[in-house]
Amino acid sequence: MARRLTRPELRDRHVLVIDDNAQARQVLADMLQSMTFDVHEAPSGPEGLELVRQAAVRGEEENGLFLGKFDFATYSSVELPLLVGEFGLLYTDGIAETNNPDEVEFGAERFRPFLASQKEVAVKQFADALLAEVATWSARPEGADLDDDITMVAFQVR
């Protein structure tokens, strides 16, 4: 039995196994899963590249006062190179922290799949769809206040 990884920074890392031999692919995937990797499999290079393209929702969290400027605040920065055609989204915590009637937050478990489903739409449609998704999640009547403000900047690199 393979031993678990001891280095915490490697746990739950995504690994893509590409092999045209199903048995070899399964053996390697099983071994990597036992070592705490999050394993994805593809039987060919083109299918592997498609999985990479589908998983291209990237996140860079920088918690703090990013969408505002205050004299008392200390700011850090993050550089994230984007390719032509890629989208970017800067947002405040009001999106992820919107509660539904059961007091469950919209959270990353709903946010990331939503982002992945919107990769082929125009940036304006994306922003509208995100606001509609959060409003639907909250189940509040139209025009009702949310728990927190929502501020976002959505853009596409041209």
DSSP state of 54: H
The ranges assigned to domains in the chain are 8-54, 58-158
pLDDT tens-digit profile, the chain (158 residues): 445 554 666 666 778 888 888 888 899 888 888 888 778 888 887 777 776 666 655 555 555 545 556 666 666 666 666 777 777 888 888 888 889 999 999 988 888 888 888 877 888 888 889 988 998 999 888 777 777 788 888 888 88
Give the per-residue pLDDT at 142.
77
Give the Cα separation of 53 and 61 in Å (integer): 21
| Cα pseudo-dihedral 143, 144, 150, 154, rounded to 10 | -30
Closest CA to 66 of 89, 83, 99: 89
Look at residue 1 in the predicted model and tell me its pLDDT.
47
**Paired strand residues for 42:** 18
Question: Tell me, what amino acid is at 61?
Answer: E
* Per-residue pLDDT, 102: 93
DSSP 85-135: T-EEEEE-TTTTT-B-TTS-B-HHHHHHHHHHHTTTS-HHHHHHHHHHHHH
